[in-house]
Amino acid sequence: MSKPLNVTIWNEYWNERNNPAVSEVYPDGIHAILADALRKRGFDSIHTATLDEPEHGLTQAVLDRTDVLLWWGHRRHEDVSDEVVARVQGRVYQGMGLIVLHSGHFSKIFRCLMGTACTLDWRVKGEKERLWIVMPGHPIAEGLDRYFELEKEEMYGEPFEIPAPDELVFVSWFKGGEVFRSGCCYIRGRGRVFYFRPGHETFPTYHDETVQQVIANAVRWAAPSAVAEEPPANVRREPIEPIEEA
């Protein structure tokens, strides 16, 4: 617990460079504001990586020193190489935490870890979202009130095609009439996975103090107590107790 957490923030980083409506809100990229938010909250070892870097910036060396990985992607999910996805997945099995943000619901890595379609209903009208805390004592909800609001957000609606979360922390209310399971915890191998809904690229969601607090809480929650040295494997074992062989 006392050694510093190594956090890697992965961002597709396409919208910010190709859509003025996005670059206005996130001029240095979504990864930059997330890095700032975590630094302000006491995380000192922050690394960023983006899609267009070699190996998307996620070499084995980078992953091996990452305790918690954040993932934001939207338009170019299919451009993420299967090899890198498998590498991230293997590292989650060993214990690396993974926080999947917003449109990352449809990333290869999230779909591979969930084993479901991960589809949902959606609408971009900039309507009000209110996130209710349904597990008030959960570490990811630490310091929050009964709910928090985002004035303008994309709507995501049920059915969200996910396995039943191991822990459901937030449920969203949308002005337009929908609800959504907005904060979902999973264990996959030794790794902890958290899906957090808000964060459409044209709205200033990641500038919001409460959203930043949730993400910082989630990083702490997702940090492994100990990472396995090897990925899991099928292992032949001798009997511990005496048996009569067939």
Q: Does 60 bind its own copies (CB under 8 A)?
A: no
Q: Of all helices (H) and strands (E), which one includes residue 194?
A: strand 191-196
The DSSP string of 83-128 is: HHHHHHHHHHHHT-EEEEEGGGGGSHHHHHHH-S----EEEEEEEE
Q: Tell me the residue type at 234.
A: N
Name which position in 39, 40, 65, 123 contacts its own copies (CB under 8 A): 123
- Minimal distance, residue 245 CB to its own copies, in Å: 5
Q: Does 61 bind its own copies (CB under 8 A)?
A: no
Stretch 139-158 residues interacting with its own copies (CB under 8 A): 139, 142-143, 146, 152, 155, 157-158
- Minimal distance, residue 21 CB to its own copies, in Å: 11
Q: Of all helices (H) and strands (E), which one includes residue 16?
A: helix 15-18
Q: Tell me the residue type at 163.
A: P
Q: Does 204 bind its own copies (CB under 8 A)?
A: no
Which span (21-29, 48-56, 68-76, 114-122) binds its own copies, by CB under 8 A? 114-122
Give 27 or 232: the residue with its C-beta nearer to its own copies.
232
Name which position in 14, 71, 160, 195 contacts its own copies (CB under 8 A): 160
Residues 6+ apart with CB under 8 A from 237: none
Number of residues forming the site for its own copies (CB under 8 A): 78
Tokens found for residue 145: 């009130």
Stretch 9-28 residues interacting with its own copies (CB under 8 A): none
Give 41 or 190: the residue with its C-beta nearer to its own copies.
190
Residues 6+ apart with CB under 8 A from 215: 34, 37, 38, 70, 99, 101, 196
Residues 6+ apart with CB under 8 A from 165: 181, 184, 185, 186
- Minimal distance, residue 185 CB to its own copies, in Å: 11
Give 23 or 132: the residue with its C-beta nearer to its own copies.
132
Closest CA to 181 of 205, 197, 193, 163: 197
Name which position in 19, 36, 47, 179 contacts its own copies (CB under 8 A): 179
Between strands 147-157 and 121-133, the pairing is: antiparallel
Name which position in 191, 205, 206, 212 contacts its own copies (CB under 8 A): 191
Please state, in angstroms and as integers, the Cα–Cα distance from residue 3 to each residue in 44, 124, 168, following that order: 11, 41, 29
Give 54 or 137: the residue with its C-beta nearer to its own copies.
137
Q: Does 32 bind its own copies (CB under 8 A)?
A: no
